[in-house]
Structure 1
Amino acid sequence: MAKKKNLNIKKGDVVRVIAGQDKGAEGKVISVDSERDRVIVEGVNRIKRHTKVVNQGGRAGTTGGIVTQEAAIHVSNVMLLVDAPKGSDAKGKVTTRLGFRRDEVTKRRSDGSTYAATRSTRVSRKSGEEI
């Protein structure tokens, strides 16, 4: 079994497509396939799939036809969107790369005692703000 890769893009992130036929399109990430380095973005890379009529289970059977749905695109073709950094000329949302920062946090044990630990947080490379 292959080792699971850690991708910077997560489910629920808002991204912009930076390459391919849907270049410039923005959408929310529906799912992430880390083994194949692919993401499915809402409203991007729409394909038509021809489905068969399935008559199992009486009324519960699916009807056939042509279904339009999103297909997976490579994670290198999308970039994370964040709010424009304060003091910049850009308005609205801008694309950014991701970095990681280790923050000191205080954790609590079940017996009530506390201890210091570190937590990794995603950070925008443009603004330095936490995502």
Structure 2
Amino acid sequence: MTQLTISQLCLLVACALPVVCASLAKSKGFGKRRRDGGFDNNHPREWLAKLDGWQARANAAQANSWEALPVFIAGLFVAHQHQAAQGTVDALALGFIAARLGYIGLYVADQASLRSLLWVAGLGASAALFFVR
């Protein structure tokens, strides 16, 4: 069995982050019946659109996590094609994950300016993957 690299594990984590954010957003409705405000799986987007506070921000973080994922995946793909140094690729992938985790935490905590700074850091790490050798 082949062992995953750190960057491959980071890819797995990055793919799970939107699901984690969605779970946070939907947690308000867990354990409740739909008629009592519980999650409405028949109309999930409408239910999510009615959220407010940190749950609404978790849902927004979910959307942004999906949006950030293709650039990260493409960056890893290009770095792999260029046979970039694995240590550098791993470091950039860890930087992306750290930035995304901080971004999500700051989004949920309603810290917009710091959140935006970490968004730029994550995008920078993804973009750098295109240029490593």
TM-score (norm 1): 0.25
Tell which structure's C-alpha radius of gyration is larger: 1
Between structures 1 and 2, the one with greater helix share: 2
Structure scoring higher RCO (CA < 8 A, sep ≥ 6) equals: 2
Between structures 1 and 2, the one with greater strand share: 1
